[in-house]
Amino acid sequence: MNTIEEIQNQIIEEFSMFDDWMNKYEYLIDLGKNLEPLKDGLKKDDFLIKGCQSRVWLVPKFENGRLFLSADSDAIITKGLASLIIRIFDDKTPEEIMNADVFFVEQIGLSQNLSPTRANGLASMIQSIKHYAEAFKTKN
Amino acid sequence: MFDLNKIRNDFPILKEKIYGKNLVYLDNAATTHKPQVVIDAIVEAYTKFNSNIHRGNHFLSEICTQKYEQARQIVQKYINAVSSKEIIFTKGATESINLVANSFASFLNKDDEVIVSAMEHHANLVPWHILSNNKGIKLKIIPMNSNFELDLTQFENLFTAKTKLVSVVHISNTLGTINPIEKIIKTAHSKAVPVLIDAAQSIQHKKIDVQKLNCDFLAFSGHKIYAETGIGVLYGKQSMLEKMSPYQGGGDMIKDVSYNSTEYADLPFKFEAGTSNYVGAYSLGKAIEYVENIGIENIELYEKELFEYAFDKLSKIEGIDIYAASKENRISSLSFNVKGVHHLDIGTMLDKFGIAIRTGTHCTQPLVNSFGQTGTVRASFAFYNTFEEIDFFIESLKKVIEMFK
Ligand SMILES: Cc1ncc(COP(=O)(O)O)c(C=O)c1O
């Protein structure tokens, strides 16, 4: 099992193989297209992340002290980002998530483009996951 | 004379490179760029005559006050107001509308009605929502037909004995629809109801004559007509403004103050509390002079051509939905979606080609939701845009659509 830090480093390495932004975006779009869609029943307002221009649903599930995640969005690039976020945070403990330093965004060479994170929902997704982890920890 | 090369040279930002590519700026409805004369004016003000206005009795304060008041006269002439007392400087269209909502509120009682349209920017909705929460006034909405135009027959039916104000947008920032404000004003006046026009998207595209229109109020922002940000205008008929009480209190808007009471200054100062944005006002004067040198009619003609050129090219793209009024009633803002591709995805990728457009609800959420969308892609034009830029935009859009297939 890889740590949050290790997975981020893998993602950074994958993105470093593309030297221009167009290919990086094509990769992100592919990730978005390949992310398994949520079942319609799960696209509920309860799971909707507010404050993004695209709609993003993030569904947490706790099992054996670990957080499992699934997500969907009506925008493909946002979905691609969601798939990265899931890869990083899925199947981790609340402590790991709460203490995680998220650094991959600046280092995959898209941060200049992704910086209005409010619009694409990246910052909100990370914040929500940290909230879920915290809530879970205080409950248990 | 309309000399596009010269015009483009007047706007230094147009030479900027975005990700190493030429900037194609199609977000003019959000804000416009500044010609060198406006940029120079801002520098000149701080270099040559900066001093607080209406206060100091020293030389620079006197000069600065003169420049500020000259700017007021330039605005007055541009919109053909009867007197410069009718020109209130604000920080923008939003503050202008809030000023009216706040000062007009003293004439409004519970259950009184204000009519707005289905196309309003949040700036012309939320101030009235605040009044409805605080005072119990009611909002009535002029509906839009399937042609993205206001339904004037329905409009007439909205009036009751309780209708106190009509407040409508001249040109929709989302759809580019030009609303028939002449008719709207006539109808409202026939029922003795005053009218506020939100000219935030028309002042830079069309000749506005407040006497001919006979509107009671008109609001716009400087930054959308090539001036600095943080300056705007509220025009109000003198008779209206005289009846209204001030919106904010402070320095500059008083005649006489004791510890317990204030006698307000005359118009327009009554509505300009605190240190005004006199540099912004100066820049607005310069911007208007710049526009007048080119001629607002020439600007409108050229911008109409740009819109129709883009419209024709866009409508040939497969799967496109354009949200626009009939040909004679539209200009400047062109909204659309591509079936199966999210507007945010289109905007994100067009940006990578150096193309600045806006996506989302454009501060008109009820409007966009009313035609069943969560957002649109909006290209909005100014007279410094070119047909070549539109070609590049269309070609890039086609590539972007391909990426998401
Ligand atoms: C139609 C309309 N009204 C009002 C406004 C508000 O202008 P400002 O934000 O400059 O006050 C805008 C700006 O987007 C607008 O397009």
Q: Where are the beta strands (DSSP E) in B228-291?
A: 232-236, 254-257, 262-264
Find the angle CA(A23)-CA(B350)-CA(B3) to the nearest 5 degrees: 135
B242 and B134 share one domain: yes
Q: Using a CB-CB distance cutoff of 8 angstroms, which residues of chain B are in contact with residue A113?
A: 348, 351-352
Q: How far is the CA of A43 from the centre of ligand 1 (A)?
A: 34
Q: What is the CATH number of the domain that holds B193?
A: 3.40.640.10
pLDDT for B230: 98
Domain ranges of chain A: 4-137
* Closest to B282 measured CA to CA, from B223, B227, B200, B226: B227
Give yes or no: residues B228 and B317 share one domain: no
Q: How many CB pairs under 8 A join A and B?
A: 41
| Interface contact B351-A113, CB threshold 8 A | yes
Question: What does pTM read for this prediction?
Answer: 0.93
Q: For B149, which DSSP code?
A: S
Cis peptide before A94 (omega within 30 of 0): no
pLDDT value at A118 more than 80: no
The pLDDT tens digits for A52-65 are 778 899 999 999 99
Residues B213 and B254 in one domain: yes
Q: Are residues B289 and B301 in the same domain?
A: no
Each of the 405 residues of chain B gets a pLDDT tens digit; together they read 689 999 999 999 999 999 899 999 999 999 999 999 999 999 999 999 999 998 778 999 999 999 999 999 999 999 999 999 999 999 999 999 999 999 988 899 999 999 999 999 999 999 999 999 999 999 999 999 999 999 999 999 999 999 999 999 999 999 999 999 999 999 999 999 999 999 999 999 999 999 999 999 999 999 999 999 999 999 999 999 999 999 898 888 888 888 888 888 899 999 999 999 999 999 999 999 999 999 999 999 999 999 999 999 999 999 999 999 999 999 999 999 999 999 999 999 999 999 999 999 999 999 999 999 999 999 999 999 999 999 999 999 999 999 998
Spatial CB neighbours of B380, under 8 Å, sequence gap ≥ 6 = B26, B27, B28, B29, B30, B173, B176, B332, B333, B334, B357, B358
**Per the domain annotation, does B106 fall within a domain?**
yes
pLDDT number for residue A111: 62
Min Cα distance B312 → chain A (Å) is 27
- Same-domain pairing of B278 and B184: yes
Using H for helix, E for strand and C for coil, what is the string for A34-102? Answer: HCCCCCHHHCCHHHECCCCCCCEEEEEEEECCEEEEEEEECCHHHHHHHHHHHHHHCCECHHHHHCCCC
Q: Are residues B224 and B132 in the same domain?
A: yes
Cβ separation of B352 and A113 shorter than 8 Å?
yes
Which of B277, B293, B309 is the endpoint of a domain? B293
Exposure class string for B337-359: b at 16+ Cβ within 10 A, else e: bbeebbbbbbbbbbbbbbbbbbb
In a domain, B323, yes or no: yes
Amino acid identity, position B213? L
Cβ(B198) to ligand 1 under 6 A? yes
All residues of chain B having their beta carbon less than 8 Å from the beta carbon of residue A53 are 343-344, 359-360, 375
Quick: pLDDT tens for A30-81. Answer: 999 999 999 888 888 889 987 677 889 999 999 999 999 999 999 999 899 9
What is the DSSP code (8-state) at residue B174? T
CATH assignment of A4-137, among 3.90.1010.10, 2.30.30.100, 1.10.3720.10, 3.90.660.10: 3.90.1010.10
Residue B31 belongs to some domain of the structure: no
φ/ψ of residue B188, rounded to 5: -60, -40
Q: Which of B238, B266, B293 is at the close of a domain?
A: B293
Please indicate, yes or no, whether residues B77 and B108 belong to a single structural domain of this protein: yes
In a domain, B32, yes or no: no
CB contact B376 to A (< 8 Å)? no
This model of the complex carries an ipTM of 0.86
Using left for φ > 0, alpha for ψ between -120 and 50, and beta otherwise, residue B332 falls in: left
Q: How many CB atoms lie within 10 A of CB B96?
A: 30
Domain extent for B187: 39-293
Q: Count up the domains in chain B and report the number.
A: 2
Q: Are residues B249 and B375 in the same domain?
A: no
Asked if B82 and B131 sit in the same domain, the reply is: yes
Q: Which of residues 102-121 of A touch B (CB under 8 A)?
A: 113, 119-120
Q: Is residue B207 part of a domain?
A: yes
